[in-house]
Amino acid sequence: MTYCVGMRLDAGLVFLSDSRTNAGVDQVGTFRKMSVFENPGDRTMVLMTAGNLSISQSIRQLVSDHVDANGKSIWTAPNMYEAARILGEAVRTVYHRDAKSLSEFGIDFNVSLIFGGQINGERCRLFQIYSAGNFIESHNESTYFQIGEAKYGKPILDRVVTPATPLDEAAKCALISMDSTLRSNVSVGLPLDLLVYADNELAVTHFVTIDEKNQYFQMIRNTWGLQLKSVFESIADPVWNASPEIQGNVLSATNMHSKPVRVALPPELRDTNTTTPSPLQSLAQQPNNTRQA
């Protein structure tokens, strides 16, 4: 599996991908998921892939050479939308070529892509492309896309990233998102590829491959864990069964009528829990004058 995140911000774009692939606990490999299509001064485009590795590699190779019916390729597309359409067309071409034979071996056609960049004359744009070749574009309401093991790193992105977030802050947030994923899922692993693209650069200027020795990423991992623990410990514990006049940190109060949904006991257990007195107990509980009679 893998984890990739791409962000479209007012200041530019941020891309981060891991490099772990596995087909079982004893078949773990390292394959880089990020590819750059760059013609300095004209266009810079970034592709990240998740899913079946053979499918994603076929798509990447095909799109680099593919020319559509109108004579356009990813290298000559007039805008990012057309480039994304050409990429979607390449996905469908691979599907028609390989999907049937893959299914005969019980393998699904599983691939998802993040594609973004800038072509001279328009703003930065970001797309998510699905297995069917269709795609959606990022707007201010959806500043980022994730593919792969997305759930672990999503909360920090939702709380921090907005279109106005500076590029370095967004890169920091992406790395924290990745660290959360690395800690919770063994199918995601180092090294990482991080690319930060500033609007109108039309060339890659900030790129780094991050391994376990990277100083900044180690600082992120250690500091984030410590700060999370510190914030957690600073939050007050809940107050249970508080009096109505108590204010603050009240989880439950005596005037609240909260009850769990209880499942009825089976009849055989209800019988054993009924306290029916034995004959000896009944005799002991009788008044003295009754017992003497």
Task: Give pLDDT tens digits for 94-136.
Answer: 999 999 999 999 999 999 999 999 999 999 999 999 999 999 9
Identify the CA nearest to 20 among candidates 191, 151, 247, 259: 191
Q: Please tell me the distance from the alpha carbon of residue 111 to that of residue 148, in angstroms, as a whole number.
A: 9
Prediction pTM value: 0.87
Q: 241-284 pLDDT, tens per residue?
A: 999 888 889 999 998 888 999 999 999 998 665 555 555 555 55
Q: How far apart, in Å, are the Cα atoms of 36 and each of 21, 62, 82, 114, 145? A: 20, 14, 17, 12, 18
Domain edges within the chain: 3-212
Q: Given this structure, which CATH class describes domain 3-212?
A: alpha beta
> Mean pLDDT in the chain?
91
pLDDT in tens, the chain (293 residues): 799 999 999 999 999 999 987 645 666 778 999 999 999 999 999 999 999 999 999 999 999 998 888 899 999 999 999 999 999 999 999 999 999 999 999 999 999 999 999 999 999 999 999 999 999 999 999 999 999 999 999 999 999 999 999 999 999 999 999 999 999 998 899 999 999 999 999 999 999 999 999 999 999 999 999 999 999 999 999 999 999 888 889 999 998 888 999 999 999 998 665 555 555 555 555 555 555 54
**Exposure letters 188-219 (e unless 16+ CB within 10 A, then b):** bbbbbbbbbbbeebbeeeeeeebeeebeebee
Q: Please tell me the distance from the alpha carbon of residue 7 to that of residue 139, in angstroms, as a whole number.
A: 10
